[in-house]
Amino acid sequence: MTSSHPRSAGRHVRRRSTAHRVVATGAAVVVGVGVVGAAAGAAVVAHLDGNITSVDVDAELGGSDRPTTDGSSGDGSTGPLNILVMGSDDRSELREGGNAFGGDIGGGGSDTTLLVHLAGDRQSATAVSIPRDSMVQVPACGYGEDDDVSAAERASDDTHLAMFNSALAGGGPACAIQTVEINTRVPIDHFAVVDFDGFQDMVDALGGVEVCLPEAVDDPKSHLDLPAGTSRVSGEQALAYVRARYNVPGTEGSDIGRIGRQQQFLSSVVQEVTSAGVLLRPDRLVRFLDAATQSLTTDPDLASVPRLTRLAQSVSGMRPDDVSFVTVPFEAYEPDPNRLQWAPEAEALWESIRTDSPLPGSEPEPAETAQVTPALTVSPGDISVEVYNGTGESGRASEAQADLQVQGFTVPVAGNAAAGDAPDGVRVTYPTGSQAAAETVAAAFPGANVVEDPSLTGSVVVTLGAGAPDVAEVPNRLGEEPLPDRSEPDPASTIEARSGADDICS
């Protein structure tokens, strides 16, 4: 699929298939990695190629106003790539060229969607879980057959507020794609639908997968019966592990509550598939790929082992710790406690994917230039400091006073600076003969301007101006009480992510 005509597909919405969302991503992300190892045998390739079902949804998508991916090659081997991954309980009609999703290609039996982003340099990947109950803008195609909306209203309704999975149920893959692109402005280049007839075979072909539970679980609803700690589970047990909702610690009947556990399972699958124990065992690798490809429906551009191989080769240098699993940041939806809405932080996540940038908060800290700092020769306990606030922000002087006192300074005065006295940053002035003491004070205000003032007597004077930093620890401080954390939280600064290499019990 070319970048100018991205494609994707929808998933089903019955609650019973939520449990299988993890396999959708696992198959779509790791099957390509495994194909590299199997591609040497022509007979094997031909067999696997025949397993994959393809569905063309371009006619459903239409329109030239969709977002596009910049810099991606036609076969997806270079440049950023976004793949919408969905689960399905039954692909039988798809295999027969019909409709397993409802409508022309409508909705069916899955209730979670994942957006997999491959970075343009192919050094990292991000899999984003989109909660099914998110309230988002959905196109008119998202109305179900039973919705009390007239044909005229449907035709005139560009978008309406509805649950995310209503797009999948009412309008299928094309509607799901439109919903994702309308709400995120992220272009979708490919899609993959995975059914779960072969789920247990895929896990069993790997020789099982390791999972972890904080407490022993015996859940009659999902038939999950495992001890606390790490267990290696078969396909049947793995299905129960990703399905359990009601009797697993931390889940409490919530679909959101089990997303972390399912992402943990995906991490384990990635580690297992990329391990030497699988890649160097042709028998296990081929069994896994056979099960995975039999369960796979993609757009026509991906529906061949050679194309999957090229895609796999482009990510062959990626390690498990280069794969991040995240959930769209969300918050309560006040009109209905059973629904949720995307939090403002979600925009930072979508922006990072649109621009092919690291996840917010994941950029490495810039290396600090080594500087020679003169040794501090005067103890804070021997220094009296007066602090004046010229920042225009209420309370800054008293905060600095408290932070200096924690470190042993004597701070008898904290007040407002004289009118018009507002330096840039921090000014530290000192009486003649007190330079060494001033240097100790200045160490608490990195970048401070240190100035001698012969008119002063006794105390070192600190004046806070625009851009003044919070007080820092000085190397020769007194006491061990930590400084208060005065940083204001920035909700968009960090997106919580799970690495594919994380310990499964983390």
Q: What is the pLDDT of residue 193?
A: 75
Q: What is the pLDDT of residue 334?
A: 94
Query: Once rounded to an integer, what is the mean pLDDT over residues 466-475?
Result: 93
- Domain extents for the chain? 15-363, 380-464
pLDDT band at 476 (very low <50, low <70, confident <90, very high): very high
Residue 95 predicted with pLDDT over 70 = no
Q: What is the pLDDT of residue 31?
A: 45
Residue 142 predicted with pLDDT over 90 = no
Integer distance in angstroms from the first to the last C-alpha of the chain? 37
Task: Please identify, in words, the CATH class of the domain defined by 380-464.
Answer: alpha beta
Query: Once rounded to an integer, what is the mean pLDDT over residues 166-185?
Result: 84
**Any alpha helices (H) in 142-281, and if so which ranges?**
151-156, 164-184, 199-205, 235-243, 259-273, 276-279
Of 218 and 71, more confident: 218
pLDDT band at 379 (very low <50, low <70, confident <90, very high): very high
Instruction: Please answer whether residues 443 and 376 qualify as being in contact, where contact means their C-beta atoms are separated by less than 8 angstroms.
Output: yes
The domain defined by 15-363 folds into Aminopeptidase (3.40.630)
Q: What is the pLDDT of residue 482?
A: 92
Query: Once rounded to an integer, what is the mean pLDDT over residues 68-97?
Result: 65
Mean pLDDT across the chain: 77
Of 274 and 348, more confident: 348
Over residues 432-459, the pLDDT tens digits come to 999 999 999 999 999 999 999 999 999 9
Q: What is the pLDDT of residue 15?
A: 30
Residue 121 predicted with pLDDT over 70 = yes
Residue 61 predicted with pLDDT over 90 = no
Phi, psi of 283 (to 5 degrees): -65, -45
Query: Once rounded to an integer, what is the mean pLDDT over residues 147-161?
Result: 65
DSSP classification of residue 462:
E
Q: Which residues pair with 386 in a beta bridge?
A: 413, 461
- Three-state secondary structure of 64-131: CCCCCCCCCCCCCCCCCEEEEEEEECCCHHHHCCCCCCECCCECECCCCEEEEEECCCCCCEEEEEEC
Share of the chain above pLDDT 70, in %: 73
Q: What is the pLDDT of residue 41?
A: 56
DSSP notation for 241-296: HHH--SSSTTTTT-TGGGHHHHHHHHHHHHHHHTSHHHHT-HHHHHHHHHHHHHTE
Query: Once rounded to an integer, what is the mean pLDDT over residues 459-465?
Result: 96
Query: Once rounded to an integer, what is the mean pLDDT over residues 460-469?
Result: 94
Over residues 387-435, the pLDDT tens digits come to 999 999 999 999 999 999 999 999 999 999 998 888 999 999 999 999 9
Phi, psi of 271 (to 5 degrees): -65, -40
Residue 279 predicted with pLDDT over 70 = no
Q: What is the pLDDT of residue 414?
A: 94
Of 467 and 71, more confident: 467
Q: What is the pLDDT of residue 348?
A: 92
Over residues 205-257, the pLDDT tens digits come to 888 889 888 888 888 877 888 898 899 998 888 877 877 766 666 555 566 76
Q: What is the pLDDT of residue 45?
A: 67
